[in-house]
């Protein structure tokens, strides 16, 4: 029974690597996907939706490797309502200790019109595909995409068919973020009460944040009987994003008095994975983001500061350390040694090898020479900026910029391209424009700049600037990110980083191949 006790455990289903990666520009590398999956597994996430295996060869390989390396979590792959998709999904997840197939179809009138299926034809398709999935795997999840805009009678009919065909989890997606909390709770409650066999399966909720109610809707669904929440780290996802993992986990923990359900997530690991997802996706966390935002535990108002000094609980409902934020931000400097840096990195949640430590330490010393004080966020930025030059065809050797109020800016850039050095001087409306033109002069390309974003890592005029650059070429999107105390240098590194990622995608696809992935927009 999934709703028999108020003390039932709520399963956390993370789809950062699938739904989160659908956010334009959030594409992660193979190595980054494996890293994020490992962190999710380690922090106690129950189910990891590792990807959409049929989408591309890269996605299939990532899901397969995540499945093979999983230790605790159920590893799930997504599949459309087709035997081909489901077979490919099973091939990818079957090596996991606990595999799951997640198959879906759009049941609302708008989504039924896409494949031009009648209600009866779709019902038959659901029966056939869920049955096929269950014959391969004993853990099958089914989703009626756009459930919140599906006719009630038809929704009940399709859910019953899926349960009879062998689905063990029924996910109820609010695909376009249309519903409200009261409706969300009522929908789950009515399905459990109405559909035969509903008390024998787990009901899940998957909410999008188009109206800013994803977390509220997810928690309301739990109150209605759902025992699985689908979410992403930082709320990453298409359009306005998904239910944020950190929000539901901490809401259940902090307000256990009125939300008497528990999760298995180690909340002290939240801040670390939030930072890593932000870095690898190129999507900075907004300062006032709940739980993980830079200002989430900052107090500037005089009355707030006075209250905090007297009793932290005056204005804090949770402790920073509850989410893995260091209670003390120990400042490091140029006299700090390698052992101190390793200890600091471990405290921040990073276990890195000797070679990476060597690289980070060299750049830490260089940063400490330019900055009087190096804070935790500076060190996090250094780790996030670590690259493997051996895998980069394009590398910056040096950059000199002239700019001011008189005349256009000038950038002289020296780069190493496939092992050969080249130099170019270009002019532009500003130093960044001139620098980007110099990159294009040295390595001509048709990539279109979709996003250029600068964020200060810490306070002060000597703060590092983290720059995110998103490029698009022939339907392929890549994001590059870099940090430096010089904003123009950081911009150049981020731009070249994004170009290198585009090149990797091309090389993996082969000459003349279509590098665009299978479209699965607005899935679930």
Predicted confidence at residue 45, as pLDDT, reads 98
pLDDT higher for 385 or 47?
A: 47
For 146, the token pair is 């756009």
pLDDT higher for 350 or 74?
A: 74
Predicted confidence at residue 516, as pLDDT, reads 39
Q: Where are the domains of the chain?
A: 11-281, 297-324, 389-509
Span 33-50, average pLDDT? 97
For 200, the token pair is 């024998």
Residue 482 has pLDDT above 50, yes or no: yes
Residue 121 has pLDDT above 80, yes or no: yes
Predicted confidence at residue 202, as pLDDT, reads 97
CATH topology (fold) of 389-509 = Double Stranded RNA Binding Domain (3.30.160)
497 known ligand binder: no
The percentage of the chain sitting over the pLDDT mark of 90, rounded to a whole number, equals 61
- CATH, range 11-281: 3.20.20.70
427 known ligand binder: no
For 100, the token pair is 């799951």
Residue 504's nearest CA partner among 388, 426, 332, 358 is 388
Residue 88 has pLDDT above 50, yes or no: yes
At 330-348, the pLDDT tens digits run 567 777 888 888 888 887 7
Span 443-452, average pLDDT? 92
At 362-407, the pLDDT tens digits run 878 888 887 777 877 788 777 776 655 446 889 999 999 999 988 8
User: What span, in angstroms and rounded, lies between the C-alpha atoms of 339 and 359?
Assistant: 14
208 known ligand binder: yes
User: What span, in angstroms and rounded, lies between the C-alpha atoms of 236 and 279?
Assistant: 12
Span 143-160, average pLDDT? 97
Mean of pLDDT over the chain: 87
Highest mean predicted confidence (pLDDT) among 91-95, 322-326, 377-381, 482-486: 91-95
Which own/partner pairs from 160-164 qualify as long-range (CB within 8 Å, at least 24 positions apart)? 160/195, 160/196, 160/197, 161/123, 161/126, 161/127, 161/130, 162/126, 162/130, 163/195, 163/196, 163/197, 163/198, 163/200, 163/201, 164/127, 164/197
For 382, the token pair is 């250094």
19 known ligand binder: yes
> What is the maximum alpha-carbon separation in the chain?
76
Residues counted in the chain: 524
At 268-290, the pLDDT tens digits run 999 999 989 988 887 888 889 99
Q: Can you tell me which residue has the tokens 């001509």?
A: 444
Predicted confidence at residue 301, as pLDDT, reads 38
| Window from 71-80, 373-382, 430-439 with minimum mean pLDDT | 373-382
Span 135-150, average pLDDT? 97
Residue 522 has pLDDT above 50, yes or no: no
| Positive/negative CA dihedral, 78, 82, 88, 93 | positive
| Window from 69-78, 93-102, 307-316, 328-337 with minimum mean pLDDT | 307-316
Do 67 and 35 contact (CB within 8 A), yes or no?
A: no
Report CA 251 to chain centroid distance, whole Å. Answer: 20
For 207, the token pair is 């909410």
């Amino acid at each position: 029974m999934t709703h028999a006790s108020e003390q039932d455990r709520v399963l956390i289903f993370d789809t950062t690597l699938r739904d989160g990666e659908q956010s334009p520009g959030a594409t992660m590398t193979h190595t980054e996907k494996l890293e994020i999956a490992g962190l999710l597994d380690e922090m106690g996430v129950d189910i990891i939706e590792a990807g959409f295996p049929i989408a591309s060869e890269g996605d299939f390989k990532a899901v397969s490797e995540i499945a093979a390396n999983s230790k605790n979590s159920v590893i799930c792959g997504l599949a459309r309502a087709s035997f081909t998709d489901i077979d490919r999904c099973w091939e990818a997840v079957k090596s996991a200790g606990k595999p799951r197939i997640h198959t879906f179809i759009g049941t609302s009138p708008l989504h039924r019109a896409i494949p031009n299926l009648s209600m009866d034809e779709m019902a038959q398709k659901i029966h056939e595909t869920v049955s096929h999935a269950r014959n391969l795997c004993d853990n099958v999840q089914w989703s009626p995409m756009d459930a919140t805009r599906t006719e009630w009678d038809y929704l009940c009919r399709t859910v019953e068919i899926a349960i009879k065909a062998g689905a063990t989890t029924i996910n109820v997606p609010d695909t376009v973020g249309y519903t409200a909390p009261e409706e969300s709770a009522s929908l789950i409650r009515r399905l459990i009460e109405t559909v035969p066999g509903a008390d024998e399966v787990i009901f899940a909720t998957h909410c999008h944040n188009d109206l800013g109610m994803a977390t509220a809707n997810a928690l309301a669904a739990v109150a209605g009987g759902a025992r699985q929440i689908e979410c992403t780290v930082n709320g990453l996802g298409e359009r306005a994003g998904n239910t944020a993992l950190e929000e539901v986990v901490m809401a259940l923990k902090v307000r256990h008095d009125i939300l008497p359900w528990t999760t298995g997530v180690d909340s002290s690991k939240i801040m670390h994975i939030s930072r890593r997802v932000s870095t690898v996706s190129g999507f900075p966390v907004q300062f006032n983001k709940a739980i993980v935002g830079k200002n989430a535990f900052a107090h500037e108002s005089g009355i707030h500061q006075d209250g905090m000094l007297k009793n932290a609980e005056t204005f804090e409902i949770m402790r920073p350390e509850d989410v893995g934020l260091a209670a003390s931000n120990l400042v490091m400097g140029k006299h700090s040694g390698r052992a101190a840096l390793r200890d600091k990195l471990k405290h921040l949640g990073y276990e890195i090898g000797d070679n990476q430590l060597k690289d980070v330490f060299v750049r830490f010393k260089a940063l400490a020479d330019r900055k009087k004080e190096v804070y935790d966020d500076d060190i996090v930025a250094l780790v996030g900026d670590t690259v493997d030059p051996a895998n980069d065809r394009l590398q910056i050797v040096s950059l000199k910029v002239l700019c001011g109020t008189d005349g256009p800016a000038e950038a002289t850039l020296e780069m190493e391209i496939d092992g050969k050095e080249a130099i170019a001087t270009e002019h532009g409306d500003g130093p960044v424009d001139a620098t980007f033109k110099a990159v294009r002069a040295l390595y001509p390309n048709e990539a279109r700049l979709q996003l250029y974003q600068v964020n200060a890592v810490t306070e002060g005029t000597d703060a590092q600037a983290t720059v995110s650059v998103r490029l698009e070429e022939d339907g392929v999107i890549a994001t590059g990110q870099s940090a430096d105390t010089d904003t123009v240098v950081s911009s150049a590194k981020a731009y070249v980083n994004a170009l290198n990622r585009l090149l990797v995608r091309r090389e993996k696809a082969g000459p003349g191949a279509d590098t665009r992935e299978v479209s699965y927009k607005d899935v679930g």
